[in-house]
Structure 1
Amino acid sequence: MDRANAPIQVVIDAADPGALAQFWAAVLAPRGYAVRAPPGDFPDWPAFLRAQGVPEERFNDASALEAPGQPRIFFQRVPEPRTGKNRVHIDLLGGGGPSVALEEQRRRVAAEVARLEALGATRVDEHTELGTHWVTMRDPEGNEFCV
C-alpha cells in the first residue's frame, strides 16, 4: 500500500466501546458512517470473535465506524476514566461555517443540537466568534465535540 494514500483512523478511548460506537454511529449516520460489519460471512461480531477464540469478556474491547472515503473511527476500551479536557475532538461543522449567514448557522446548529440531545449528548456551551456559530457538547462518556 502506498503510504501517501493509506487511510487513517481516529482512536477514541472508552469505558464501553460498543455503546459509544452506537452513539457515534447515530450521530454520524447522515455522513455515511456505520458500525463496521464483521469480516467474512459471520452474522455478527460475537460469532466472529468466538471463531477467533476471543474470550467473551473481551468482546467489547473495541468497535469501529467506517464511511466510504472518510477516516475510520476506532473506539478502544481503556481501564482509566476520562480526566480533564480532551485534546482532540470531532467537529461536526453543523452551521456550515462563515460562508453561511449567521442566522442560518444558528438555525442549523440548533436543529442538530436538538437531534444530538435526543441521542444522549449534552450541551456544554454556545459560541459565536469570527462569523461562526457553534455549540460544544459531550457524548455519553463525557468526550467533548462541537456542532
Structure 2
Amino acid sequence: MPSFDLHIVFDCADPDRVARFWMAALGGYDFPMGVPDGFATWDEWADANNIPVDQRNAGRTLVDKDRGTRPDIFFLQVPESKQVKNRVHLDIKVAPGLAADDRRTAIESEANRLTALGATVATRMDAPDGFHIIMQDPEGNEFCLA
C-alpha cells in the first residue's frame, strides 16, 4: 500500500484571517515563504505582477516550520458561508498527561487565549472520557480543546 501526504483544507470567506488565526492557535506554523526580494509587502509584489485586488486573498498555506512533521494546512476562498456542523474537525491536545483540575485549568487557559484571537466557545463538555471544550474559529469551524 502506498503512503500519502496529508493536507488539511479549510473552505472560508477570508483565507488570510482564518490562516492567521490557526497560525497563532497551533504555534510553530507559518507561511511557507516571506515577501519576495525587492518588495516591501505582498501587495507591492501583487501590484508589480498585475494580480487584481479581488484575487489576492484566494488562498493561504501554512507549513510546520517548528517540527516539520505536521500536515500543511490550506485555506481556500469559497463564495458560500458555512451552513452546518463540520463533518471533520481538529482536536487540539493542550493537556496531555494532566488529570482532573490541572487538565481543566490548562484547557480553560487555552480557550481564553484562543478567544482573544477571535475564536468562540460553543460548548464545555464534562464527558466520561474527560473534560473538553468545543470551540469555533473566526468563521465558525468547530474544533475541540482536550
Q: CA deviation at 1:52?
A: 5.2
Given the alignment, which residue of 50, 54, 60 partners 2:51?
54
Runs of 5+ in structure 2 lacking a partner? none
User: Please, which of 5, 16, 19 is the counterpart of residue 18 of structure 1?
Assistant: 16
Contact 1:14 1:141 in 2 (8 A): yes
| Partner secondary structure for residue 92 of structure 2 | coil
Residue aligning to 1:65 = 62
Separation in 1, partners of 2:26, 2:141: 15
User: Deviation of residue 70 (structure 1)?
Assistant: 1.0
> Aligned pair count?
140
Q: What CA distance in whole angstroms lies between the structure 1 residues aligned with 2:9 and 2:103?
A: 29
CA drift at 1:36: 2.7
Identity of aligned residues (%): 36
CA distance in 1, matches of 2:109, 2:127: 19
Bigger helix share: 1
Offset from partner CA, 1:20-48 (integer Å, 9 cap, x none): 1111111112xx11233258636443355
Residue 130 of structure 2 is aligned to residue 129 of structure 1 = no
TM-score by length of 1: 0.83
Instruction: Compare 42-51 and 134-143 and name the one that shifted more.
Output: 42-51
Question: In the TM superposition, what is the alpha-carbon distance from 1:75 to its structure 2 partner?
Answer: 0.3
Match of 1:34 in 2: 30
Kindly indicate whether the alpha-carbon contact (under 8 Å) linking 1:21 and 1:65 is maintained by their aligned counterparts in 2.
yes
Q: 1:89 aligns to what?
A: 89
Aligned amino acid, residue 57 of structure 1: D
